[in-house]
A and B are shown apart, each in its own frame.
Chain A
Amino acid sequence: MKRHRSTAAIFSLLVMGLGQLYNRQFIKGLIMLAVEAAALMYFIPNLGRAIWGIVTLGEKTQGLEKIGKISVRVEGDHSIFLLISGLITLFLFILFIIIYIMNIRDAYRNGKQRDEGVLPASFRQTLAYVTDRNFPHLMLTLPALGVLFLTIMPIIFMVMLAFTNYASPDHIPPAKLVDWVGFQTFANLLTLKTWSHTFIGVFTWTIIWAVIATVTTYFGGLLVALLIEQKGIRFKKLWRTLFIIPYAIPQLISLLVMRNLFNGQFGPINQYLGYFGMGKLPWLTDPFWAKVTVILVNMWVGIPVSMVLILGVLTAIPKDLYEAADVDGATGIQKFRIITIPFVLFSTAPILITQFAGNINNFNVIFLLTNGDPVKGDYQFAGSTDLLVTWLYKLTLNNSQFNMASAIGIIIFIIVATFSIYNYRRTRSFKEEDMIQ
Chain B
Amino acid sequence: MKMGRKTANVVRLTLSYLLLIAIAICAIYPALWVLLSSLRPGTSLFSSSLIPESFTLIHYKELFTNPSFRYGAWYLNTLKIATLTMIFSTILVTLSMYALSRFRFRGRKMTLTIMLVLGMFPGFMSMIAIFIFLLQLNLLDTHAALIIVYSAGAVLGGFVVKGFYDTIPRSLDEAARIDGASHLQVFVKIMLPLSRPMLTYVALTTFAGSWVDFIFARLVLRSKDNWTLAVGMWDLVNSYQNSNFTLFAAGAVLIAIPITLLFVFLQRFLVQGLMSGASKG
Binding site for B on A (CB under 8 A): 80-81, 84-85, 88, 131-132, 135-137, 139-140, 142-144, 146-147, 149-155, 157-158, 161, 224, 227-228, 230, 232-233, 239, 241-254, 256-258, 260-261, 263, 266-268, 271, 300, 304-305, 308-309, 311-312, 347-348, 350-351, 354, 357, 361, 363, 389, 392-393, 396, 402, 405-406, 409, 412-413, 416-417, 420, 423-424, 427, 430
Partner of A147, one of B105, B118, B264: B118
Residues in A neighbouring B46, C-beta threshold 8 A: 266, 271
**How many whole Å from A107's CB to the nearest CB in chain B?**
20
A266, B20: Cα distance in complex, Å: 29
B45 and A143 contacting across the interface, CB-CB below 8 Å: no
| A-B contact number at CB 8 A | 244
**How many whole Å from B16's CB to the nearest CB in chain A?**
6
B263 and A247 contacting across the interface, CB-CB below 8 Å: yes
Residues in A neighbouring B33, C-beta threshold 8 A: 257, 261, 268
Residues in A neighbouring B270, C-beta threshold 8 A: 308
The 3 closest A-B pairs by CB, nearest first: A154-B126, A146-B152, A154-B129
**How many whole Å from A19's CB to the nearest CB in chain B?**
23
B267 and A241 contacting across the interface, CB-CB below 8 Å: yes
Chain B's interface size range is: 35 or more
A286, B182: Cα distance in complex, Å: 64
Residues in A neighbouring B27, C-beta threshold 8 A: 242-243, 245-246, 300, 304
A228, B13: Cα distance in complex, Å: 11
Interface of B is mostly: helix
A38, B44: Cα distance in complex, Å: 63
B96 and A140 contacting across the interface, CB-CB below 8 Å: yes
CB of B1 within 8 A of chain A? no
CB of B278 within 8 A of chain A? yes
Residues in A neighbouring B249, C-beta threshold 8 A: 257
**How many whole Å from B168's CB to the nearest CB in chain A?**
16
B121 and A409 contacting across the interface, CB-CB below 8 Å: yes
B128 and A243 contacting across the interface, CB-CB below 8 Å: no
Partner of B103, one of A136, A250, A389: A136
Residues in A neighbouring B178, C-beta threshold 8 A: none
B126 and A155 contacting across the interface, CB-CB below 8 Å: yes
CB of B271 within 8 A of chain A? yes
Residues in B neighbouring A233, C-beta threshold 8 A: 13, 16-17, 20
A185, B255: Cα distance in complex, Å: 42
Using A131-B184, A232-B9, A250-B208 as known contacts, say yes or no to A257 and B148 having CB atoms under 8 A apart: no
With A154-B125, A252-B234 known, 19 other A-B pairs at CB within 8 A are A132-B183, A143-B95, A146-B151, A150-B153, A154-B133, A157-B128, A227-B16, A230-B12, A242-B28, A245-B31, A248-B264, A249-B256, A258-B30, A311-B271, A312-B275, A351-B278, A393-B124, A413-B121, A424-B116
